[in-house]
Protein backbone atom coordinates (compact mmCIF):
# COMPACT_ATOMS: atom_id res chain seq x y z
CA UNK A 1 0.00 0.00 0.00
CA UNK A 2 1.39 3.40 -0.93
CA UNK A 3 0.98 6.20 1.61
CA UNK A 4 1.30 9.84 0.59
CA UNK A 5 1.50 12.02 3.69
CA UNK A 6 0.38 15.59 3.13
CA UNK A 7 0.22 18.64 5.38
CA UNK A 8 -3.50 19.30 5.37
CA UNK A 9 -6.90 18.93 3.70
CA UNK A 10 -6.04 21.37 0.90
CA UNK A 11 -2.89 19.50 -0.10
CA UNK A 12 -4.74 16.16 0.11
CA UNK A 13 -7.36 17.56 -2.28
CA UNK A 14 -4.79 18.90 -4.75
CA UNK A 15 -2.78 15.66 -4.82
CA UNK A 16 -5.84 13.43 -5.22
CA UNK A 17 -7.27 15.65 -7.99
CA UNK A 18 -3.92 15.39 -9.78
CA UNK A 19 -4.04 11.59 -9.69
CA UNK A 20 -7.62 11.56 -10.97
CA UNK A 21 -6.79 14.06 -13.71
CA UNK A 22 -3.85 11.95 -14.90
CA UNK A 23 -6.26 9.05 -15.29
CA UNK A 24 -8.89 11.23 -17.03
CA UNK A 25 -6.30 12.54 -19.47
CA UNK A 26 -4.64 9.20 -20.16
CA UNK A 27 -7.45 7.18 -21.70
CA UNK A 28 -10.21 7.45 -24.26
CA UNK A 29 -12.77 5.91 -21.88
CA UNK A 30 -12.30 6.22 -18.14
CA UNK A 31 -14.38 4.69 -15.37
CA UNK A 32 -14.27 6.32 -11.95
CA UNK A 33 -15.79 5.11 -8.69
CA UNK A 34 -16.84 8.12 -6.63
CA UNK A 35 -17.55 8.89 -2.99
CA UNK A 36 -19.58 11.57 -1.24
CA UNK A 37 -19.28 13.10 2.25
CA UNK A 38 -17.00 15.95 3.31
CA UNK A 39 -13.67 14.31 2.41
CA UNK A 40 -13.82 14.47 -1.43
CA UNK A 41 -15.37 17.96 -1.61
CA UNK A 42 -11.97 19.66 -2.00
CA UNK A 43 -10.96 17.13 -4.66
CA UNK A 44 -14.13 17.82 -6.66
CA UNK A 45 -13.47 21.56 -6.33
CA UNK A 46 -10.01 21.04 -7.80
CA UNK A 47 -11.43 19.00 -10.70
CA UNK A 48 -13.95 21.77 -11.42
CA UNK A 49 -11.19 24.40 -11.24
CA UNK A 50 -9.06 22.43 -13.69
CA UNK A 51 -12.03 22.00 -16.04
CA UNK A 52 -12.71 25.76 -15.96
CA UNK A 53 -9.09 26.91 -16.22
CA UNK A 54 -7.60 24.27 -18.50
CA UNK A 55 -10.66 22.99 -20.33
CA UNK A 56 -10.10 19.37 -19.24
CA UNK A 57 -12.87 17.31 -20.79
CA UNK A 58 -14.99 14.75 -18.95
CA UNK A 59 -17.16 13.59 -21.84
CA UNK A 60 -15.37 10.23 -21.97
CA UNK A 61 -15.69 9.64 -18.22
CA UNK A 62 -18.19 7.17 -16.76
CA UNK A 63 -18.83 7.28 -13.00
CA UNK A 64 -20.15 4.80 -10.43
CA UNK A 65 -20.95 6.14 -6.96
CA UNK A 66 -20.53 4.05 -3.87
CA UNK A 67 -23.83 4.61 -2.15
CA UNK A 68 -27.19 6.33 -1.75
CA UNK A 69 -29.70 6.71 1.06
CA UNK A 70 -32.77 4.50 0.95
CA UNK A 71 -35.98 6.48 0.56
CA UNK A 72 -34.52 9.63 -1.03
CA UNK A 73 -35.34 10.34 -4.66
CA UNK A 74 -32.60 11.60 -6.95
CA UNK A 75 -34.06 15.13 -6.80
CA UNK A 76 -34.13 15.24 -3.00
CA UNK A 77 -31.62 17.97 -2.02
CA UNK A 78 -30.15 15.67 0.66
CA UNK A 79 -29.61 12.72 -1.69
CA UNK A 80 -26.16 11.77 -2.91
CA UNK A 81 -27.51 12.28 -6.45
CA UNK A 82 -28.02 15.96 -5.64
CA UNK A 83 -24.65 16.17 -3.91
CA UNK A 84 -22.87 14.80 -6.99
CA UNK A 85 -24.73 17.09 -9.40
CA UNK A 86 -24.03 20.13 -7.25
CA UNK A 87 -20.36 19.48 -6.58
CA UNK A 88 -19.19 17.77 -9.77
CA UNK A 89 -21.48 16.51 -12.49
CA UNK A 90 -23.15 19.81 -13.41
CA UNK A 91 -19.87 21.68 -13.21
CA UNK A 92 -17.59 19.61 -15.46
CA UNK A 93 -20.19 18.91 -18.15
CA UNK A 94 -20.08 15.15 -17.81
CA UNK A 95 -23.02 13.57 -19.71
CA UNK A 96 -25.49 12.64 -16.97
CA UNK A 97 -26.33 9.35 -18.67
CA UNK A 98 -22.71 8.33 -18.01
CA UNK A 99 -23.12 8.81 -14.27
CA UNK A 100 -24.37 5.95 -12.10
CA UNK A 101 -25.59 6.05 -8.50
CA UNK A 102 -27.60 3.33 -6.76
CA UNK A 103 -31.30 4.21 -6.82
CA UNK A 104 -32.32 4.50 -3.17
CA UNK A 105 -35.96 5.03 -4.10
CA UNK A 106 -36.24 1.87 -6.23
CA UNK A 107 -39.36 -0.15 -5.41
CA UNK A 108 -37.40 -3.39 -5.45
CA UNK A 109 -34.20 -2.65 -3.59
CA UNK A 110 -32.78 -6.14 -4.03
CA UNK A 111 -33.26 -5.92 -7.80
CA UNK A 112 -31.57 -2.55 -7.74
CA UNK A 113 -28.55 -4.05 -5.94
CA UNK A 114 -28.27 -6.79 -8.57
CA UNK A 115 -28.61 -4.23 -11.37
CA UNK A 116 -25.83 -2.13 -9.86
CA UNK A 117 -23.48 -5.10 -9.42
CA UNK A 118 -23.98 -6.23 -13.00
CA UNK A 119 -23.25 -2.70 -14.24
CA UNK A 120 -19.89 -2.69 -12.47
CA UNK A 121 -19.12 -6.31 -13.26
CA UNK A 122 -19.82 -5.61 -16.95
CA UNK A 123 -16.91 -3.16 -17.00
CA UNK A 124 -14.69 -5.50 -14.96
CA UNK A 125 -14.41 -3.03 -12.06
CA UNK A 126 -13.74 0.71 -12.30
CA UNK A 127 -10.35 2.09 -13.36
CA UNK A 128 -9.99 4.21 -10.23
CA UNK A 129 -12.09 4.12 -7.06
CA UNK A 130 -12.06 7.14 -4.76
CA UNK A 131 -12.81 6.35 -1.10
CA UNK A 132 -13.23 8.20 2.17
CA UNK A 133 -13.16 6.32 5.46
CA UNK A 134 -15.66 6.35 8.31
CA UNK A 135 -14.56 6.90 11.90
CA UNK A 136 -15.51 3.26 12.57
CA UNK A 137 -13.47 2.07 9.58
CA UNK A 138 -16.34 1.80 7.11
CA UNK A 139 -15.79 2.18 3.36
CA UNK A 140 -18.82 2.98 1.26
CA UNK A 141 -21.51 2.26 3.82
CA UNK A 142 -20.05 -1.14 4.61
CA UNK A 143 -20.29 -1.02 8.37
CA UNK A 144 -18.13 -3.10 10.78
CA UNK A 145 -19.00 -6.78 10.48
CA UNK A 146 -19.82 -6.65 6.75
CA UNK A 147 -18.54 -9.69 4.86
CA UNK A 148 -15.54 -9.04 2.63
CA UNK A 149 -17.40 -11.01 -0.05
CA UNK A 150 -20.41 -8.66 0.07
CA UNK A 151 -21.86 -7.27 -3.12
CA UNK A 152 -24.15 -4.24 -3.36
CA UNK A 153 -26.64 -4.46 -0.50
CA UNK A 154 -29.03 -2.61 1.77
CA UNK A 155 -27.47 -1.59 5.06
CA UNK A 156 -28.79 -0.36 8.40
CA UNK A 157 -26.54 2.57 9.28
CA UNK A 158 -24.89 2.39 12.69
CA UNK A 159 -25.55 5.07 15.35
CA UNK A 160 -21.98 6.39 14.88
CA UNK A 161 -22.44 6.81 11.12
CA UNK A 162 -25.85 8.44 11.60
CA UNK A 163 -24.32 10.86 14.08
CA UNK A 164 -21.35 11.65 11.82
CA UNK A 165 -23.72 12.45 8.92
CA UNK A 166 -26.41 14.26 10.91
CA UNK A 167 -24.94 17.67 10.04
CA UNK A 168 -26.11 17.23 6.42
CA UNK A 169 -29.79 17.01 7.38
CA UNK A 170 -31.81 20.07 8.30
CA UNK A 171 -34.60 17.92 9.77
CA UNK A 172 -33.12 14.95 11.64
CA UNK A 173 -36.45 13.15 11.66
CA UNK A 174 -35.97 12.83 7.88
CA UNK A 175 -32.42 11.43 8.06
CA UNK A 176 -32.58 7.99 6.41
CA UNK A 177 -31.37 5.12 8.58
CA UNK A 178 -30.74 2.76 5.66
CA UNK A 179 -28.59 3.01 2.55
CA UNK A 180 -27.65 1.06 -0.55
CA UNK A 181 -23.93 0.51 -0.77
CA UNK A 182 -21.51 -1.08 -3.17
CA UNK A 183 -20.19 -4.17 -1.36
CA UNK A 184 -16.61 -4.77 -0.35
CA UNK A 185 -15.95 -7.41 -3.03
CA UNK A 186 -17.19 -4.95 -5.66
CA UNK A 187 -14.92 -2.19 -4.34
CA UNK A 188 -12.01 -4.66 -4.44
CA UNK A 189 -12.66 -5.27 -8.16
CA UNK A 190 -11.44 -1.71 -8.86
CA UNK A 191 -8.18 -1.65 -10.78
CA UNK A 192 -6.82 1.10 -8.56
CA UNK A 193 -8.04 2.56 -5.25
CA UNK A 194 -7.39 6.00 -3.79
CA UNK A 195 -8.39 6.48 -0.15
CA UNK A 196 -8.42 9.97 1.37
CA UNK A 197 -8.32 10.82 5.06
CA UNK A 198 -7.99 14.14 6.82
CA UNK A 199 -8.17 15.25 10.43
CA UNK A 200 -7.86 13.67 13.84
CA UNK A 201 -11.30 12.07 13.71
CA UNK A 202 -9.84 9.58 11.22
CA UNK A 203 -6.80 8.64 13.38
CA UNK A 204 -8.23 5.43 14.84
CA UNK A 205 -9.63 4.20 11.53
CA UNK A 206 -6.32 4.76 9.72
CA UNK A 207 -4.39 3.11 12.54
CA UNK A 208 -6.56 -0.02 12.31
CA UNK A 209 -6.30 -0.03 8.52
CA UNK A 210 -2.52 0.35 8.45
CA UNK A 211 -1.37 -1.33 11.64
CA UNK A 212 -4.19 -3.68 12.62
CA UNK A 213 -5.22 -7.11 11.44
CA UNK A 214 -7.26 -7.76 8.34
CA UNK A 215 -10.68 -8.27 9.87
CA UNK A 216 -14.32 -7.76 8.93
CA UNK A 217 -14.63 -5.71 12.13
CA UNK A 218 -12.69 -3.01 10.26
CA UNK A 219 -14.12 -2.96 6.72
CA UNK A 220 -11.30 -0.77 5.37
CA UNK A 221 -8.74 -3.41 6.37
CA UNK A 222 -9.93 -5.37 3.30
CA UNK A 223 -7.92 -2.90 1.25
CA UNK A 224 -4.78 -4.70 2.46
CA UNK A 225 -5.84 -7.56 0.17
CA UNK A 226 -5.76 -5.28 -2.91
CA UNK A 227 -2.53 -4.76 -4.83
CA UNK A 228 -2.97 -1.16 -5.97
CA UNK A 229 -4.10 1.13 -3.15
CA UNK A 230 -2.82 4.64 -2.47
CA UNK A 231 -3.72 6.46 0.73
CA UNK A 232 -3.45 10.23 0.78
CA UNK A 233 -3.70 11.37 4.38
CA UNK A 234 -2.71 14.43 6.34
CA UNK A 235 -0.43 14.42 9.36
CA UNK A 236 -3.36 14.69 11.77
CA UNK A 237 -5.00 11.59 10.37
CA UNK A 238 -1.68 9.69 10.40
CA UNK A 239 -0.69 10.71 13.94
CA UNK A 240 -1.16 7.25 15.51
CA UNK A 241 0.56 5.53 12.59
CA UNK A 242 3.77 7.59 12.61
User: What residue ranges bind ligand F6R (CB under 6 A)?
Assistant: 35-39, 66-67, 132-134, 138-141
Which residue among 103, 136, 142, 165 is the active-site one?
A: 136
Active-site residue, 138 included = yes
* Minimum CB–partner distance for residue 208 and ligand F6R (Å): 15
Closest CB 164 distance from ligand F6R, rounded Å: 6
Q: Cβ of residue 141: shortest distance to ligand F6R, in angstroms?
A: 6
Q: Do the beta carbons of residue 44 and residue 9 sit within 8 Å? A: no
Q: What number of other Cβ atoms are within 10 A of residue 167's Cβ?
A: 9
Q: Give 23's contacts (C-beta < 8 A, 6+ positions apart).
A: 30, 32, 127, 128, 192
First to last CA, the chain: 15
DSSP for 167-223, written as a single string: GG-SSGGG--SEEEE--HHHHTTSSSEEEEE-SGGGHHHHHHHHHS---TTSGGGGG
Q: Is 200 in the active site? A: no
41 vs 48 by CB, closer to ligand F6R? 41
Cα–Cα–Cα angle for 188, 195, 163, nearest 5°?
A: 100
The residue from 67, 112, 117, 127 that is catalytic is: 67
For ligand F6R, the closer of residues 109 and 195 by Cβ is 195
For residues 62 and 29, give the distance between their C-alpha atoms in angstroms, rounded to a whole number.
8
Distance CA 22, CA 2 (A): 17
Query: Strand, coil or helix: what is 94?
Result: coil
Least Å from the CB of residue 14 to ligand F6R: 17
Q: Phi and psi at residue 66, in whole multiples of 5°?
A: -70, -40
Spatial contact of 188 and 222, defined as CB atoms under 8 Å apart: yes
Q: Which of 51, 81, 87, 138 is an active site residue?
A: 138
Q: Which is nearer to ligand F6R, 92 or 195 (CB)?
A: 195
Quote the least distance from Cβ 161 to ligand F6R, whole Å: 6
Going by the DSSP 8-state scheme, the letter that residue 79 receives in this structure is S
> Which residues are marked as active site?
67, 136, 138, 143
Amino acid sequence: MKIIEVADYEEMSRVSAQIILEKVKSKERVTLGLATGSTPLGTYKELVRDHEENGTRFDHVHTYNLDEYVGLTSSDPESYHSYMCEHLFNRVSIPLDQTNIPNGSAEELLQECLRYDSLIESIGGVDLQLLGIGQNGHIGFNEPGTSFSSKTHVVDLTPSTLEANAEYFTDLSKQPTRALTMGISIILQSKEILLLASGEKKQDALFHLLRGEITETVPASALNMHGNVTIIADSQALKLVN
